[in-house]
Amino acid sequence: MEVLTKNIPQNIRFQAILRKIAEFACIAKIVGFLNTLTQQMRVKFRTIGSKPLARATIEQAVQVMKSAIGRFYNDKKGNFATITSVAMIPIMAGVVGVIDLTNQQNQENSVHNALDAAGIAIATKVGSDMTDSELTSLGEAVFEANIDNLMRFEAEFDYPGTDRPIDPVTGKPNGDTFITVTATLAYKSLFSWGTDREVEKLTEVTVAASDPACVLALSEWESESVYIKGNAHLNLDGCNVASNSSSGSSIKRQGDAEITAGCIQTAGGTEGIPDSRVDTDCSEAKTGASDTKNPLADYTAPAPGACVNINNYIAGKSQGITTYNLVAGKTYCNNLSGVINLTTGGTYIFDNADINLLNSSHSLTGTGVTLVFLNGAALNGNGGTTNLTAPTDKTDPYAGIVIYSGEGNTESFEFGGNAIVDLTGFVYMPDGNFKLGGTSAAGTKQCMRILANKVELSGNTEMKSDCETELAGLDIVGSSIIRIKR
């Protein structure tokens, strides 16, 4: 017994079972020997006759035992069971070792997958108003939700923070953002070691920097949501063209239209792109991308007030052209055409009333103004000049917005013919379409952002990206590309 069991590893939890296997094999052989010995003794005793066992000679008993022990020593029956019981020790140790290693690898993979999910969750919120503490809580919640709780381990999540390069001049993020999340795995081995094994896992997530979008179509399904056609020349300095439509022709270029932009990005597909007349900073259009966030989604148009008497705002008439001097804070309910001066900064509401600029003598001008169009009101500039700038004071509720077509207003705003358009600020039309065509000139690299249900461009339009002041800090941030590195 001792010979068979003394070399069994004492640090294996199954040592008691293995010892019993060995003991059983030896006991089985000894029991067989004793049975044989008993039978031999009975035979010998029967030869003595009916004398009591006590009267049997010691010599005869000794001879019987010697003979039986000799046969036991030379008997090879049962050796396989004995050898197998000894061999089971390393075999079982090997099996347990493989199971233990596989179990550890599965648990490490579970932790890594949970880390990936946590890193992505944090990456989608970096740049928002969430603090590092809130981002940590978000990461922990996602991490714990993605761990297989049935596994035998303990893991501790850690988010040390985000590495976001900051431009020393603007104070804004500049370049890719790097996120690191880690977890320490305390693995409970199947072997009875004194302490658990600790393994540290790490996931790195990169949020690729994206240029702002100067043009964004909000429609989620319509084809040609951004349509650039004819002899249009769209020149966007460091700006993207983006569409949230999932249509296969979400962004379409046709004819001799030229596009110069940071990148072209859409949730759907493109038509007429790539082409030699398309020049972008990125190597190819980004199709099937995630939606670009609408920065004005939480805004609500102001309610209209009482309609004013428009005659009180007529400054004069000359050669059949009426001049209006309007003031902010009023609601105008009459169609207007002619020379329209917005004399004070602030919000102008047009309720079911159109502004029509029909020829080169007509104009619409204003500084620090937001024009709000409600209940079917529209702005059409098929002639004349439109020169408007948005409020830049961030205390103004509509700072950075120059034209706001209220929710539910599906009217299209169209500039064409010989119109000259110079708009600084957001043109926001969540349910309406914006068309800029003909020989329209949108100025030279102006700070305009077109944010409409659909956008159609067939004239010359130039915009630039560096408009922090003019847009009062608002911008259309392009959807980011998130990459995972383990």
User: What is the residue-averaged pLDDT of the chain?
Assistant: 81
* Nearest residue to 372 via CA among 401, 400, 340, 350: 350
Task: Look at residue 13 in the predicted model and tell me its pLDDT.
Answer: 42
pLDDT for 112-163, tens place per residue?
888 889 888 888 777 666 788 888 889 889 988 887 665 556 677 888 777 7
Beta strands in 251-320 (DSSP E): 251-253, 258-261, 263-266, 270-271, 278-280, 314-318
pLDDT value for 110: 82
Please compute the mean of the pLDDT values over residues 290-307 and round it to a whole number: 92
- The residue with greater pLDDT, 78 or 265, is 265
| Tokens found for residue 355 | 């502004």
pLDDT of residue 68 exceeding 50, the answer is yes
User: How far apart, in whole angstroms, are the C-alpha atoms of residue 349 and residue 14?
Assistant: 83
The whole-number pLDDT of residue 3 equals 36
- Give the pLDDT confidence score for residue 484 in this predicted structure: 81
DSSP letters spanning 159-198: ---EE--B-TTT-SB-S-EEEEEEEEEEE--SS--SS-EE
Report the C-alpha gap between 134 and 122 in whole angstroms.
Answer: 10
pLDDT tens digit sequence for 327-358: 999 999 999 999 999 999 999 999 999 999 99
* CA dihedral of 60, 66, 67, 73, whole degrees rounded to 10: 170
The pLDDT of residue 196 is: 67
**Other residues' Cβ atoms within 10 Å of the Cβ of residue 308:** 16
- The SS3 call for residue 123 is helix
Low-confidence winner among 11-15, 194-198, 457-461 (lowest mean pLDDT): 11-15
Instruction: Provide CB contacts within 8 A for 18, sequence distance 6+.
Output: 8, 12, 85, 88, 89, 92
In the chain, pLDDT over 90 holds for what percent of residues? 40
The one-letter code for the residue type at 366 is G
Highest mean pLDDT among 109-113, 335-339, 415-419: 335-339
**193/215 Cα distance (integer angstroms):** 63
What's the pLDDT at 24?
52
What integer is the mean pLDDT of 275-300?
A: 89
Angle made by CA atoms 97, 100, 105, in degrees to the nearest 5: 125
Say what the pLDDT of residue 7 is.
40
Mean pLDDT within 437-454? 77
pLDDT at 44: 54
Is pLDDT larger for residue 21 or for residue 397?
Answer: 397
- Answer with the residue of higher pLDDT: 269 or 156: 269
What mean pLDDT do residues 281-306 have?
90
pLDDT at 279 over 80: yes
pLDDT of residue 54: 44
Q: Which of 46-60, 91-105, 186-200, 267-281 has the lowest mean pLDDT?
A: 46-60
Q: Which stretch of 182-196, 203-217, 348-362, 411-425 has the lowest confidence by average pLDDT?
A: 182-196
Asked if 338 contacts 322 with a C-beta cutoff of 8 angstroms, the reply is: yes
> Which of 14-28, 169-183, 381-395 has the weakest average pLDDT?
14-28
| Res 47 pLDDT > 90 | no
Query: Where residue 53 falls among pLDDT bands split at 50, 70, 90?
Result: very low
What gap in Å lies between CA 220 and CA 30, rounded to an integer? 85
Which residue has tokens 């047009």? 350
DSSP per-residue letters across 54-88: GGS-HHHHHHHHHHHHHHHHH--TTHHHHHHHHHH
Q: Supply φ then ψ for residue 143, to 5 degrees.
A: -60, -50
In percent, the amount of the chain with pLDDT more than 70 equals: 73
Query: Residues 6-38: pLDDT tens digits?
Result: 343 444 444 555 455 555 555 555 555 556 655
